[in-house]
Structure 1
Amino acid sequence: MDRKEWYLEYEIQINRPGLLGDISSLLGMLSINIISINGVDEGKRGLLLLVKNEEQIVRLESILQTMETIKITKIREPKLRDKLAVRHGRYIQRDADDKKTFRFIRDELGILVDFMAELFKQEGHKLIGIRGMPRVGKTESVVAASVCASKKWLFVSSTLLKQTIRNQLINDEYNANNIFILDGIVSTQRANEKHWQLVREIMRIPAVKVIEHPDIFVQNSEYSLEDFDYIIELRDNPEQEITYEVIQRNNFLNDEGFGGFDY
C-alpha cells in the first residue's frame, strides 16, 4: 500500500525541554515518518507525516490526546495551506467570510509565488483573480509562479512592459499547459470585440487563467466573481485599501497610452 501524507498541528500548553523529542520518539515507535516540521503560528507547531495506514493516525491521536503538554488543533490529510505553512513557517491569511479569498502583503511575495505555483501545477480549468494597487507586484508574482511551476505564460492583455491587447493566438499557444494572463482594466476599457472573442475561447481551454483586477473585469463582461476559483489580494501593508477610484477619476487609460501608470 502506498504511504499517504498527513498533517498534524498542535498547540504547546506546557513548553518544556524535550517536548519535540518525546513526540518524535512516539512517531518513531508508531512507524510514522516525519517529512517536515516547523512553527506555523505563535505557540503552534505543524508536522507533515508519512503513514502506511489510517490506523497509525488513530493510535497517534489517541495517545497525543492524553498529553497535558500539547493540544491537537489539526490532524488531517494535508491541504495546500498546511503544506505551505510548514514550508514557510506561517499560515496564508484567508478571508473569514469568503473562503476562496487569500490575502498577502508585499513582504510575503515568496509565499505568494509558492502558493500560485502550486495552483498552476494542478491540471484543468482554474480561474484566479488577483487584486492590488499599482506597482505592488501582481504581474511579476504571476510570472515568477509560472516559472516555478515550469509553465509557459502568455499575456492576453497587459501593461507590464508595454500595452498588450491580443486578438488571436497562434496554434501552439492553444495549450492547456500554458498560463493565460489578462489585465481586467485593459481588456474592458481598451479592447475590441475580436479580443473578447479570444477571451471567450481561452475561457473554454482547460487551463489556468489569471485575471488582474477581477472586479473591473466582471463589471464589464458576462463573467461574475462566482466564476473564480481563487481571489488573491496583494497589498503593500495590511492596512492598505484596494480601490479603483484613482484610476476612474483620472482616466489613466487615455488615447496617448497609459501615462506610465503600471497596473
Structure 2
Amino acid sequence: MSKTEWYLEYEITKNRPGLLGDISSLLGMLSINIVTINGVEQGRRGLLILAKNYEQIVRLESILHTMDTIKLIKLRVPKLRDRLAVRHGRYIQQDADDKKTFRFVRDELGLLVDFMAELFKQEGHKLIGIRGMPRVGKTESIVASSVCANKRWLFVSSTLLKQTIRNQLIHDEYNENNLFIIDGIVSSRRANEKHWQLVREIMSLPAIKVVEHPDIFVENTQYSIDDFDYIIELRHDPEEEIKYDIVNENKMFSDSEFGGFDF
C-alpha cells in the first residue's frame, strides 16, 4: 500500500529539552515516517510526514490534542505553501483578503524563485502578474524560475537587456511548454496593433504567461485583474509602496527617455 504525505504544524507552548524527540517517538510508535522537518515561524515547527492510512492520522491528531507542551495548528494534505515553508523555514506571505496575492521582499528572492518555479511546472493555462518598483528583481526572478522549472522563456515585451517589442513569433515558439513574459508598461506605451494581436494569440494558448506590471496591462486591454490566477508583489522592504506615478505622468516617452528607464 502506498503511503500518503501529510503536513503537520504545531506551536510550542512549553519549550523544554527533548520535545522534538517526544514528537518523533510518537510518530514512530504510530508507524508514521518523517520526511522533512523545519521551523516555519517563530515558535512553530512544520513537518512533512508519510502515513499508510487515514486512521493513523486520526490517532495522531487525537494524541496531539492531549499534549500540553504543543498546540496543533495544521494537519492536512500539504499545499504548495506548506512544502515551501518546510523547505525554506518561512511561510510565504499571502494577502488575508485576496488569497491569490502573495508578497515577497528582495531578501526572499530564493523563496520567490522556488515558488514561481513550482507554478511554472504545472501544466495548462496560467496567468501570473508580478508587481514591483524598478530594479527590485522581477524579470530576473522570472527567468531564474523558468530555468528551475526547465521552461524556455520568451520575451514578448521587456526592458531587461534592451527594449523588446515583438510583433510575431516563429512557428516553433508557439509552444504551450514555453513561458511567455510580457511587460505591461512596454506593451501599453510603445506597442502597435500587430503586437497586441500577438499578445491576444499568446493569451489564448494553454501555456504559462507572466505579466509584469499587471495593473498597467489591464488598463489598456480587455483583460482584468480577475483574469489572473496569481498576483505576486515584490518589494525592497515590507513598507515600500508600489506606485506608477512616473508612468501615469509620462504617457509618451522618447526612445532615449524610455530606454534609460529600467522597469
Structure-2-length-normalised TM-score: 0.97
Matched, 1:224 2:230: no
Amino acid of the residue matched to residue 55 of structure 2? E
| Residue-by-residue CA offset, 1:15-52 (whole Å, 9 max, x unaligned) | 01111001101111111111100011111100011111
Cα offset, 1:194, TM superposition: 0.9
**Change in 2 beyond 3 A, CA 1:252/1:7:** farther
| Distance (whole Å) between structure 1 residues aligned to residue 40 and residue 96 of structure 2 | 18
Aligned match of 1:132: 132
Flag structure 1 segments of 5+ consecutive residues without an equivalent.
none
**Change in 2 beyond 3 A, CA 1:122/1:52:** same
The number of residue pairs the alignment matches comes to 263
Question: Residue 180 of structure 2 contacts residue 208 of structure 2 at CA under 8 Å; is this kept in 1?
Answer: yes
Q: Residue 246 of structure 2: SS of its match in structure 1?
A: helix
| Distance (whole Å) between structure 2 residues aligned to residue 16 and residue 237 of structure 1 | 35
Aligned match of 2:199: 199
Aligned match of 1:109: 109
Amino acid of the residue matched to residue 215 of structure 1? D
**Change in 2 beyond 3 A, CA 1:193/1:52:** same
Cα offset, 1:259, TM superposition: 3.9
| Distance (whole Å) between structure 2 residues aligned to residue 189 and residue 243 of structure 1 | 17
Q: Residue 117 of structure 1: SS of its match in structure 2?
A: helix
Matched, 1:100 2:100: yes
Amino acid of the residue matched to residue 111 of structure 1? L
Aligned match of 1:53: 53
Amino acid of the residue matched to residue 2 of structure 2? D
Cα offset, 1:250, TM superposition: 4.4
| Residue-by-residue CA offset, 1:216-262 (whole Å, 9 max, x unaligned) | 00001000000000000000001110000022324573243524211
| Distance (whole Å) between structure 1 residues aligned to residue 155 and residue 3 of structure 2 | 40
Question: Residue 252 of structure 1 contacts residue 261 of structure 1 at CA under 8 Å; is this kept in 2?
Answer: no
Structure-1-length-normalised TM-score: 0.97
| Residue-by-residue CA offset, 1:132-190 (whole Å, 9 max, x unaligned) | 00000000000000001111000000000011111111111111111100000111111
Question: Residue 39 of structure 1 contacts residue 46 of structure 1 at CA under 8 Å; is this kept in 2?
Answer: yes
Aligned match of 2:7: 7
| Distance (whole Å) between structure 2 residues aligned to residue 177 and residue 4 of structure 1 | 29
| Distance (whole Å) between structure 1 residues aligned to residue 51 and residue 253 of structure 2 | 56
The runs of 4+ residues in structure 1 deviating greater than 4 Å are none
Amino acid of the residue matched to residue 166 of structure 1? R
| Distance (whole Å) between structure 2 residues aligned to residue 253 and residue 58 of structure 1 | 63
Amino acid of the residue matched to residue 124 of structure 1? G
What is the Cα-based RMSD across aligned positions, in Å?
1.1
Farther off after superposition, 119-128 or 47-56? 47-56
Amino acid of the residue matched to residue 107 of structure 2? D
| Distance (whole Å) between structure 2 residues aligned to residue 86 and residue 123 of structure 1 | 24
Aligned match of 1:168: 168
| Distance (whole Å) between structure 2 residues aligned to residue 4 and residue 176 of structure 1 | 31
Aligned match of 1:158: 158
